[in-house]
Structure 1
Amino acid sequence: MSQLHVDPSHLVPEVLTPPISKSDAQRALVLAHLTGAWPLPVLQEEPEHFLPADVRVLRRGIEALRLPPGPVRDVDCADGGAPFRILATQAAVTPGAHVRLTGTPRLGERPHGPLFESLRQTLGPSGLVLTEGKPWPVEIRAPTSLTGEPVFRVPGEQSSQYASSLLLGCAALYLRERRPWRVEIVGALTSAGYLGLTVSWLRRFGFTVRESEGRFEVTGYTAPERTPAMPGDWSSLGYLLLIAWHTGGSVERADLTSAHPDQALVKLVERAGLTPVPGANNTLRMTGKARDGLVASGKECPDLLPTLAALACVLPRPSTLTDVGILRLKESDRLEGIRTLVDAFGGRTELEGETLTIHPPTSHPPRFSMDSKGDHRLAMVSATLSVLSGVPLTLTGPECVEKSFPGFWRQLERAGVRLS
């Protein structure tokens, strides 16, 4: 595995550009496929090398589903948790589809059981066949006609991706049968903002979605006048905004009206003393001086916690991250990844149950090293910490940023970071 040396000693203010939003694009891809807006124009215009790997994976999967029924379609989901879960449901609701899904060993270790059980309960009586390998392949044969109650029931505590995947399946089934389909969530819902993002995109594509306590029902559809625009990726904007704050630069594609949960960053950093300043054409910069620690919850924005942990290492007071157990179920064990990063930088952490306290170091180390463990977010937050602190970094496994932000290293170079 390769190593990248990050030298942040020659920083300059610059306008930095995130990729399109991975989470938004995945939902829009599915809905474009279902409603006849395929191919999605904005993805046709975006340079291929700038598209997140997860978006490319999902697009290939949908292209396979769009083929006429016939031989089994093989789809490699790589390390994409959301693409895999979305495609599993779309395969199960595509009449006569026969799909074989594979992925990395790590993706195979991540939890998918509640989604599979929900699909079996609702579609099994109609003839759904869903066979799990150990862990691969996952083979799905969809029924050609449906019987039974139009409802998916799924637990909400482990991941909101199950509910989002099933709700997109409800959109497909509504268009197929012209009767309402719903998702009923059992128990508390983790990362509710991501399900809210799914509902937002359904409505932008013309679907009527009725919400009540733990119930989301697709009840109608009217074709929209135009294809919705695609915002920048707020997960990626998190790194860039902090870098721009430190360098005196700004970011573009920062749509403050977006429904993406990671937009919460602009509010969360205010406690630490940073102030967002919007500009024209969705540009944004941060001003202010760090004066306090952070408080954030994994239930609200789990993908932001590593980014906030990097910022916490350069703040003058300790920071508190709550509900952090969900981080163990990501592309890597991100909870341990955060603790490793803080330790490598000379700080310390305290974990009590679901609460992680980060104590920044009293002085910065001369340099530090980090292994990404193949996790794109750990790679990018390590580099972000290097920029924020001015401390050189040796990063093992930098290639994994392709998953969500293929142009990340080019953006750092624009800000004056020297890479070798």
Structure 2
Amino acid sequence: MSRLTITPSGPINSAISIPGDKSITHRAVIFSAMAEGTCTIRGYCDGEDCFRTINAIRALGVSIEVSKTELRVFGKGLWGFSEPQHLLDCGNSGTSMRLLTGLLSGQDFFSVLTGDRSLRQRPMGRIVTPLRQMGAMVSGRKGGELAPLAIQGVRLSGVSYTSPIASAQVKSAILIAGLLAEQPTTFHEPARSRDHTERVLQYFGVQLDHESDTTIRLHPSALTARDVAVPGDFSSAAFFIVAGLILPDSRITIRNVGLNHTRVGLLDILKTMGASIQTLNIHDDAGEPVGDIHIQSSQLEGTDIDPKDMLRAIDEFPILCVAAALAKGHTRITGMEDLRVKESDRITTMAQALGRVGVDVDEHPDGLVIHGRGQLHGAECPSHGDHRVAMAMAIAGLNALETTTITDIDCIQTSFPGFLNELQQIAPTCRVETS
């Protein structure tokens, strides 16, 4: 089991670029495969999760050429896929499993999706239920609640579905299935979730009607092959945003980052806490807002965070906890029950990790109350196989009084394989050792 040892860091003054957005890469690969023609995806995320989607699409008969900076996808159209000869292994990628279930439900063959132990414990009933309403034949453990999922593809019917939760993965699975349905599909959600799927679909020429902020209607149609430039992943940038804020006399500029409103709740939360953050050079690329983020070290103040803002920062919960740990006063995070079924139980995992580095934390069923302190202590912190926890505690280690060790760090490969190299470059006074 790999270990990461970090010594405290001095000020950071750097300009960096971040690898491509993981969420957009998943969608760009799937929609390029569903289009007729060749698509080039530049600046893609090369983490393990995205390669789970790439390899699954290849197993469905789609040719994908991979280079260091781009993918070339030779699309097959909506129904040009072939039956896979083996199980499709999604590893730890919930996005792969949920989006591919939508795609496979409307094909004319049999397939099985599985994953690692963690993924096989994550809830799949939230996509299986609406897909079955569309006519899909999907089965799994506990009545379809848990993977592996066995899918006998059929011709689907459009549906009007009201989701009990705001989830971009649920929405995406239904919209992808809706492309293969015989009638339009309408999706309602209780609050607005990430809209990368809608943006990429429209970029590929699909007609979507936004009937309200939380209701979308999709009309089945073919996809037009288009090249995609993937912006830097905001969720990866978040670690260095917080690093720049918590290390005195630091300044960081992060270039070419996706600034989709449904993703950047962390910026709004941190600004409420007193962070000095600017967004610059904003422009649109492939339907997504993109720009630079400039961060200057700031004294943060604790706050009660609106759950609606947290919905736009759900993946940033671990690194937000680190920021709150170094804020003056207490920070209350609520309404985050779904974090208990991520790669780890992130609520408990972060409560325990912060406790190890000297922070008082009150754990509640739906979140945490974090009592900030001026300085963290070094400690040994297990990642529990969760990439975002591992990276968040690495950033915490930059501020600690003593050496910090994070165990089981191989999980970082899930989303940000170059994280440790980037960390060493921007924090030259910090020693990063792996063993």
- TM-score band by shorter chain is 0.7 to 0.9
Structure 2: distance between partners of 1:188 and 1:218? 18
Structure 2: distance between partners of 1:133 and 1:329? 17
What is the Cα deviation at residue 211 of structure 1? 2.5
User: Is structure 2 residue 49 aligned with structure 1 residue 54?
Assistant: yes
Structure 2: distance between partners of 1:332 and 1:132? 22
What is the Cα deviation at residue 59 of structure 1? 1.2
User: Is structure 2 residue 96 aligned with structure 1 residue 83?
Assistant: yes
Partner residue of 2:301? 292
What is the Cα deviation at residue 370 of structure 1? 0.7
Partner residue of 1:155? 163
Partner residue of 2:285? none
Distance 1:98 1:395, change over 3 A: same
Partner residue of 2:190? 188
Partner residue of 2:74? none
Moved over 6 A (4+): 222-225
Q: Would you say the 8 A contact 1:16–1:244 is kept in 2?
A: no
What is the Cα deviation at residue 406 of structure 1? 0.8
User: Is structure 2 residue 325 aligned with structure 1 residue 313?
Assistant: yes
- For structure 2, the 5+ residue unaligned runs are 63-80, 283-290
Structure 2: distance between partners of 1:265 and 1:408? 19
Q: What TM-score, normalized by structure 2, do the two folds share? A: 0.83
* Alignment length (residue pairs): 395
Distance 1:157 1:58, change over 3 A: same
What is the Cα deviation at residue 274 of structure 1? 1.2
Partner residue of 1:377? 388
Distance 1:88 1:255, change over 3 A: closer
- Comparing 388-397 and 334-343, the one that deviates more: 388-397
Q: Would you say the 8 A contact 1:72–1:100 is kept in 2?
A: no
What is the Cα deviation at residue 388 of structure 1? 3.9
- Comparing 50-59 and 164-173, the one that deviates more: 164-173
Distance 1:5 1:70, change over 3 A: closer
1:98 equivalent among 93, 98, 110: 110
- Comparing 233-242 and 342-351, the one that deviates more: 342-351
Q: Would you say the 8 A contact 1:265–1:304 is kept in 2?
A: yes
More strand by percentage: 2
Partner residue of 1:232? 232
Q: What TM-score, normalized by structure 1, do the two folds share? A: 0.85
Structure 1: distance between partners of 2:41 and 2:367? 43
What is the Cα deviation at residue 33 of structure 1? 1.4
Distance 1:223 1:184, change over 3 A: closer
SS at 1:310's partner residue? helix
Distance 1:107 1:152, change over 3 A: farther
The C-alpha deviation readout for 1:338-360, integer Å capped at 9, x for no partner, is 10122112111223453521002
Structure 2: distance between partners of 1:209 and 1:394? 48
Partner residue of 1:2? 2
Q: Partner amino acid for 1:150?
A: G
Partner residue of 1:244? 244
The C-alpha deviation readout for 1:342-385, integer Å capped at 9, x for no partner, is 211211122345352100236532x1221000000100110111
The C-alpha deviation readout for 1:268-305, integer Å capped at 9, x for no partner, is 11122212234558332212521411443343321122
The C-alpha deviation readout for 1:375-402, integer Å capped at 9, x for no partner, is 0010011011112446531000111011
- Alignment map for 1:169-208 (pairs within 5 Å): 169-173=177-181, 180-185=183-188, 188-189=190-191, 192-194=192-194, 196-208=195-207
The C-alpha deviation readout for 1:73-92, integer Å capped at 9, x for no partner, is 42110010111101111111
Structure 1: distance between partners of 2:281 and 2:131? 46
User: Is structure 2 residue 59 aligned with structure 1 residue 64?
Assistant: yes
RMSD of aligned alpha carbons:
2.6
Distance 1:216 1:28, change over 3 A: same
Distance 1:243 1:70, change over 3 A: closer
- Comparing 99-108 and 345-354, the one that deviates more: 345-354
Q: Would you say the 8 A contact 1:244–1:251 is kept in 2?
A: no
- Comparing 284-293 and 393-402, the one that deviates more: 284-293
1:393 equivalent among 404, 408, 416: 404
Q: Would you say the 8 A contact 2:244–2:297 is kept in 1?
A: no
The C-alpha deviation readout for 1:43-91, integer Å capped at 9, x for no partner, is 6xx5xxx612111111111222235535644211001011110111111
Q: Would you say the 8 A contact 1:262–1:304 is kept in 2?
A: no
Distance 1:249 1:188, change over 3 A: closer
Q: Would you say the 8 A contact 1:244–1:250 is kept in 2?
A: no
Q: Would you say the 8 A contact 1:154–1:162 is kept in 2?
A: no
Structure 1: distance between partners of 2:296 and 2:432? 27
Partner residue of 1:266? 267
Q: Partner amino acid for 1:188?
A: P
- For structure 1, the 5+ residue unaligned runs are none
Q: Partner amino acid for 1:79?
A: N
What is the Cα deviation at residue 30 of structure 1? 1.6
Partner residue of 1:275? 276
Partner residue of 1:212? 211
Structure 1: distance between partners of 2:210 and 2:102? 21
Distance 1:368 1:113, change over 3 A: same
Identity of aligned residues (%): 23
User: Is structure 2 residue 124 aligned with structure 1 residue 122?
Assistant: no
